[in-house]
């Protein structure tokens, strides 16, 4: 049985993230989606809200082909999380050569230090411009984000494009 780990900050999760998760299920029996904290980032949504959004966004994936999809918090290092969940593969989406240049050295380190392979999945061309950063920018401008995020997370946003008040305190 193959368990894959797909980690990110998912602030917020996008249709591109969901597509990578769906495609990872073509070669993994189980998929663990780890919502992490990067201490140098300032988040729009707190960790609990991001976990909730990811769970809602990928809920239907858990029934496709009998695969098991779990969402977990990842407060520490990626390799530590991979060991904890029993992952034998780390999955990363890449939208561009810049993403590849960032992910490739990390993949080498993951293999060297943790003995775990990384599978880089190229974004579909129509999703290559979709990112959490773009979504946050559009939100800040009050523009429609509905084509870039799963419908299941739209309740976290107000109709006018402003971010809904979080239910919990935000991370810094």
Average pLDDT over residues 101-116: 94
Prediction pTM value = 0.87
Write down the catalytic residue from 50, 56, 95, 131.
Answer: 95
Give the Cα separation of 127 and 133 in Å (integer).
14
Write down the catalytic residue from 26, 41, 168, 170.
Answer: 41
* 132 has catalytic annotation: yes
Q: φ, ψ for residue 45 (rounded to 5)?
A: -115, 145
Say whether pLDDT at 35 is over 60.
yes
pLDDT of residue 41: 87
Question: Looking at domain 3-156, what is its CATH homologous superfamily?
Answer: HUPs (3.40.50.620)
32 contacts 70 by C-beta, under 8 angstroms = yes
* 95 has catalytic annotation: yes
Write down the catalytic residue from 17, 50, 56, 92.
Answer: 17
pLDDT over 90 percentage in the chain: 77
What are the residue ranges spanned by the domains of the chain?
3-156
Say whether pLDDT at 172 is over 70.
no
């Amino acid at each position: 049985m193959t368990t894959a780990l797909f980690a990110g900050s998912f602030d917020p999760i996008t249709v591109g993230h969901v597509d990578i998760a769906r495609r990872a299920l073509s070669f993994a029996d189980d998929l663990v989606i780890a919502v992490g904290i990067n201490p140098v980032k300032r988040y729009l949504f707190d960790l609990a809200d991001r976990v909730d959004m990811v769970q809602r966004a990928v809920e239907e994936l858990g029934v496709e082909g009998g695969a098991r999809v779990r969402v977990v918090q990842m407060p520490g290092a990626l390799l530590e999380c991979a060991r904890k969940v029993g992952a034998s593969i780390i999955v990363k989406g890449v939208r561009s050569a810049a993403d590849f240049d960032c992910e490739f050295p990390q993949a080498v380190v993951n293999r060297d230090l943790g003995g775990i392979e990384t599978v880089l999945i190229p974004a579909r061309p129509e999703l290559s411009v979709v990112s959490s950063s773009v979504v946050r920018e559009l939100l800040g401008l009050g523009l429609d984000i509905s084509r870039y995020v799963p419908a299941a997370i739209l309740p976290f946003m107000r109709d006018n494009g402003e971010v809904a008040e979080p239910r919990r305190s935000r991370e810094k």
